[in-house]
Amino acid sequence: MSFVEYGDTIKDGDTAIVFLGHESMFPVKVQHGTVTQTKYGVIRHSTDLIGKKYGSKVTCSKGGWVFILHPTPELWTMNLPHRTQILYSTDISIITMMLELKPGSIVCESGTGSGSLSHALIRTVAPTGHLYTVEFHQQRAEKAREEFREHGVEHLVTVTNQDVCKNGFGVSNIADAVFLDIPSPWEAIGHAKSALKAEGGRICSFSPCIEQVQRTCLAMEEYGFTEINTLEILLRVYNVRTISLQIPDLGKAAEDNSSSGFDSSNPSQQGSPCANLQQGTVQFKSGVPLREVVGHTGYLTFATKS
C-alpha cells in the first residue's frame, strides 16, 4: 500500500479508510487477528478485510455495512491524528498550484506538523521528485517519519529535526519551491532563498495573523523576492435542496373576477370562492449557502526568487 500508488487488494499492514458516511470515517491499520469496532458492529481484519478489494462493501457483525477505501492525501487530511493544527484541501489546492509543483519537483517544507500538506506535496512531486521537510519538535518529527514509512512514501521524503530559522533546510540551490508554516517565517526567508534554485523558485508562507504577513513581506523584499502577493481562501458551501412553490394563476383569477363582477374592494365579497382559488405547485432545485460557514484560516503569501 502506498499513498501515491493505488493498490487493488487490502494487505496486512495497510492503512485503510473505514467509510461509514461523508461525515463519518476513520483510518485503521489492517493487522491479522485484529478487530475494529464500529456502530454497525465488529470488523474482523483477517476475514473481512485482508484479501478483499479496496472499495468493497463490508458487512459488520450487527448487520450494518461500511466501505473500505484506499487512502489518499485528501482522505488522510480528513482523518489524520492531529498533533498540530493542519492545512485543509481548500488551502492545499491553491498552494500546490501557485508553487507550480509537478512530478519531479524538489520542495522544502517547514514545519511538518501533522503531515497533512506533506502527503499532498509528496503525491504531487512523485515519482521522481522529493520533499525535504523540517520539524522543530523531536517527537513530531519521529512520528512523521514513522507515518511516511507506513504509508509507503519514505523514499520520497527526508524528515529533519532542527530549527529552520537557525539551521535552514539542509540543502542549497536545488529546491523548486519552499513552504513555511512557522510562527516567525520572516526569520527563515534567508534560508529559504539559499535552498531555492538559482532563479525562478517559488516560496509560500502561511500565517494566521496579518502582522506576521507584514513582517514576512518586508523580509521578502529585503532578500530580493519579487511578485509578492497575499491572498485568503474562504470556502462557501451551498446546500442543494428541493423546494415546492405554488403557481399563481393570475389570468384565470382575473377572468373569473371579470365574469362574476367580483369587487376586491367590497368587504362583503372578500369571502368569495374566487379569492381562495386552489393553485398548483411546482418543484425545483435550489442552492442556498449554509448558515454557518468556515471562516478565516490563514493568509497565504507567495513570492518568486528573481
Q: Is 117 annotated as a binding residue?
A: yes
Query: Residues 7, 14: contact at Cβ < 8 Å?
Result: yes
Is 150 within any annotated ligand binding site?
no
Cell digits of residue 54:
479496496
Question: 176, exposed or middle or buried, with CB in 10 Å at 0-12, 13-18, 19+?
Answer: buried
User: Is 61 flagged in the annotation as binding?
Assistant: no
Query: For 258-296, b where at least 16 C-beta lie within 10 A, e where not — what string?
Result: eeeebeeeeeeeeeeebeeeeeeeeeeeeeeeeeeeeee
Q: Is 163 annotated as a binding residue?
A: yes
Q: Is 190 annotated as a binding residue?
A: no
CA pair distance 225, 175, nearest whole angstrom: 15
The helix-helix angle for 116-125 and 89-98 (nearest 10°) equals 40
Which parts of 196-295 fold into alpha helices (H)?
210-222, 250-260
115 is in an annotated binding site: yes
Residue 200 annotated as binding site: no
Residue numbers in the known binding site are 114-117, 135, 163, 181
Residues making up the annotated binding site for S-adenosyl-L-methionine are 114-117, 135, 163, 181
